Each structure stands twice: as structure tokens, then as C-alpha cells.
Amino acid sequence: MAKRKKAGKAKRRTPRKKNLKKKSIRKKPVSKKKKPTVRKGKKAAPSRPKGPKLPAEPIGRVTHYFPQVKAAAVMIERDGIRTGDVLYFKGHTTGFKQKIESIQIERQPVSQASQGDEVGIQVRSRTREHDLVFKL
């Protein structure tokens, strides 16, 4: 049997090769810094600090978060805390302040905790391990 050639057979296309030539690096001339342009009638927005002014040292650190009950386990490393104190939780994605409504040690409610205690505190927002806790 003789093979027949198909009429009008298209050539197989090969993908194009990218241009691999190195682009020349052109140095830009050094120019003077421009003053920021201010539109007439509008003032520049003042820069706002991110959160309240914090003390130099944190009083503790978050060791665990319980999402079902929205509570954080906090290891008290310095000073102490009481019910009614205002705490600020600060981390990479965390930043909120909150008044302490309840404190628990070993699932027993207490009114205060001292250095070295690991306490459970009801929080309104998610915290993460290693978030710092400041007393305001």
C-alpha cells in the first residue's frame, strides 16, 4: 500500500524564542528633590499614630487563643492585673484595647493576677500567640 500525501498540510509551528538580549542599564541623572505639591484649598492630612501611647515594657504575652469562647491565655511576666484594668493587645495583625471584664486561673474566676500567673481573659477580637499585652 502506498501512502498518500494529504493536500494542503500546514507546517507545524514552533514557539517563538524570547529576545534574550540584555537591556542596557542607563543611569538616570540625579535630580533635586521636589517639594510635595499642595492643592489649593486642601490641607495635607496629618499623620496619625497607630494606637495609643504604650508603656516601654509589656506586662505579658499571649500564649494561646480559644476561638470558641473568644478568650486569650496570657502569661503575666511583669506587675499584675485586676478586673477593670485596660489592656492593649499588640501584634503583627492585632491592635486593640479592652477593659478586663473577667479573669480566670485554672477555670476559676479571680479578681486579680500577679507575676508568673497564666490567666484566661475574655477578649472581643482575635489574638495570636506571642502578641504583646500592655497595661494602659
End-to-end CA distance of the chain: 95
pTM for the whole structure? 0.60
pLDDT, position 56: 79
pLDDT, position 47: 60
User: For the chain, what are the domain ranges?
Assistant: 60-135
Contact assessment for residue 95 and residue 50, using Cβ atoms and an 8 Å cutoff: yes
pLDDT, position 54: 73
pLDDT, position 130: 93
Tell me, letter by letter, the H, E, C secondary structure of 93-106.
Answer: CCEEEEECCCEEEC
- Which CATH fold topology does 60-135 show? Elongation Factor Tu (Ef-tu); domain 3 (2.40.30)
Going residue by residue through the chain, which has 136 residues, state the pLDDT in tens, using 9 for 90 and above: 566 666 666 666 666 666 655 566 666 666 666 777 666 666 656 665 666 777 778 999 999 999 999 999 999 998 889 999 999 999 999 999 999 999 999 999 999 999 999 999 999 999 999 999 999 8
